[in-house]
Amino acid sequence: MQQLELLKHTDKINELLARYGVKFGIYKNNIFKEQLFPFDSIPRIIEHKEFSHLEKGLKQRVMALNLFLKDIYSKKQIVKDGIVPEDFIFASSGYMAECEGTVPPKGIYSHISGIDLVKGKDDNWYILEDNLRVPSGASYPMIARDLCRRSSPDTFHNYRLEDNRNYADLLRRAMDYVNPGGHTVILTPGRYNAAYFEHSYLAEKTGAHLATGSELIVENDTLYYISSDGTREKVGAVYRRISDEYLDPMNFNPESLIGIPHIYEVFRKGNVALINAPGNGVADDKGIYYFVPKMIRYYLDEEPILCNAPTYLPFYEEDMKYVLSHFDELVLKDVAEAGGYGVVFGNSMTKQQKQDFIDLLQREPRRFIAQEVIDFQDLDILEQGEIVPRKADLRAFVLMAEEPMVWKSGLTRFSRNTDSFIVNSSQGGGFKDTWVLYQ
């Protein structure tokens, strides 16, 4: 691997990525900073057989999560049957009462799911979290692959790997499948958004219109795109890259300036598909994560193919006991936080911090989950000409049309910090391409 000719082009590729505007906006201490998303050219390679296993497990998981969402916003059978306690639904910040009773086109809630996994030292893959709201990141390996192929075509002659540039086709299929008629639009908050590169790149690759809220208007229960010459075109599918609360100031946050008034009413009437559907946050909540294996058994009557990291819910008395007696071995996560925030390791706290944390945990047990720290495999990265090991995860993308489709690639993120387990790009990590080999 270290001999790959491709590696000689790392700097050049990073330069090109910067020129194309592949940047990531981060907030630190309330200051917005745009920074480059460093690319490491040593790919993560996944063998065909190993990926097939992942593929089966990911499809299964996303099927169950979609069924869960459909159930939660209608009959709530899983709650009535006592599998998921009511408190975990209604007290979840991702649960949206406004979504009760509205079934999205074709009953699909999560069209694009970003599932984060790590590979343990035991060679098993573990699911770390599900992202069912607006998971981002697919564009980075897409453009990186493109630049790598151009920089070092020979490298790609010698490896039998799946072409990952079909992501746009999969996305288009997922969008078209639920479109009840009309154009397809990617809704962006605008060019100052952290992921604007991705919005524009995916629009270009899928042939969708890239639009801001002010270019879309609701009239007579129909959504229209106003093109530059003032003509109106009916819109049937919106891949919205803004979060639920900003989507419609007449239904959600009234202060939103980037949303479209009454778009949710068009959705209620079935005249537009919103991708992903609003309300998905109730299924990718860190507290609900604990229940995903149970969901798979409940809805599909199958055993989960991929496992969760061993997780405890202090909400249950038995789990609380375990957490308190094994505190130093566990990582504790605030269910309301994302992006690597609100994560603390039991063994990294001072005595006082630990006591304060335990007090908080006992006051608000619903707010936290505790997990075993997974000793995950390092991946090699190139740092100033030297190969060094770093922690890395994988965000796999599952797209839903008639059936779930797993993109044969993914976003591999790594921590640039030697001793950090947190790989989120919002905390300054880098990324790699993910190569899936075919047979």
Partner 1 sequence: MSVLHFEYKMEIKYEEYVGRCYFTIKCIPKEDARQHLRGLKLSVLPEVAYSWGKDSFGNRQIYGCETEPHNQFVFQAVGDVEIIQTDYEEEAGDETTGIFRVPHGKCVPGPGLSEYYKSQDFSRCKSHYEICMALMHSLHQDFSYVPGATQVNTTAEEAWGMGRGVCQDYAHIYITLLRMAGIPARYVCGLIIGEGASHAWAEALCGNRWIAFDPTNDCLVLDHYIKLGHGRDAADCAINRGLMWNGGAQSQTISVLVEKCE
Where on the chain is the footprint of partner 1 (CB under 8 A)?
75-76, 79-80, 86-87, 89-91, 97-102, 218-221, 249-250, 254, 261-262, 265, 268-269
As a whole number of angstroms, the distance between CA 248 and CA 213 comes to 10
Provide the greatest CA pair distance for the chain: 67
- Helix, strand or coil for residue 177? helix
> Is the CB of residue 178 less than 8 Å from the CB of residue 275?
yes
Residue 114's CB: how many other CB atoms inside 10 A? 22
Q: How far is the CB of 333 from partner 1 (least distance, A)?
A: 22
By beta-carbon proximity to partner 1, the closer residue of 51 and 246 is 246
Residue 242's contacts (CB-CB under 8 Å, 6 or more residues apart) are: 134, 187, 188, 189, 213, 258, 259
Residue 352's contacts (CB-CB under 8 Å, 6 or more residues apart) are: none
Q: How far is the CB of 221 from partner 1 (least distance, A)?
A: 5
As a whole number of angstroms, the distance between CA 185 and CA 33 comes to 28
By beta-carbon proximity to partner 1, the closer residue of 4 and 250 is 250
Crossing angle of helices 139-151 and 10-19, rounded to 10°: 130
As a whole number of angstroms, the distance between CA 410 and CA 22 comes to 17
By beta-carbon proximity to partner 1, the closer residue of 266 and 394 is 266
Q: How far is the CB of 365 from partner 1 (least distance, A)?
A: 15
By beta-carbon proximity to partner 1, the closer residue of 82 and 385 is 82
By beta-carbon proximity to partner 1, the closer residue of 42 and 99 is 99
- The string of DSSP letters for 204-265 reads HHHTPEEE-GGGEEEETTEEEEE-TTS-EEEEEEEEE-S-HHHH-TTTS-TT-SSS-TTHHH
Q: How far is the CB of 156 from partner 1 (least distance, A)?
A: 51
Q: How far is the CB of 319 from partner 1 (least distance, A)?
A: 21
> Is the CB of residue 289 less than 8 Å from the CB of residue 129?
yes
By beta-carbon proximity to partner 1, the closer residue of 265 and 372 is 265
- Helix, strand or coil for residue 168? helix
As a whole number of angstroms, the distance between CA 367 and CA 313 comes to 9
Q: How far is the CB of 87 from partner 1 (least distance, A)?
A: 7
Crossing angle of helices 196-206 and 167-178, rounded to 10°: 80
By beta-carbon proximity to partner 1, the closer residue of 22 and 99 is 99
By beta-carbon proximity to partner 1, the closer residue of 33 and 80 is 80
Q: How far is the CB of 266 from partner 1 (least distance, A)?
A: 9
Q: How far is the CB of 298 from partner 1 (least distance, A)?
A: 16
By beta-carbon proximity to partner 1, the closer residue of 256 and 425 is 256
Q: How far is the CB of 17 from partner 1 (least distance, A)?
A: 40
As a whole number of angstroms, the distance between CA 13 and CA 191 comes to 23
As a whole number of angstroms, the distance between CA 145 and CA 325 comes to 47
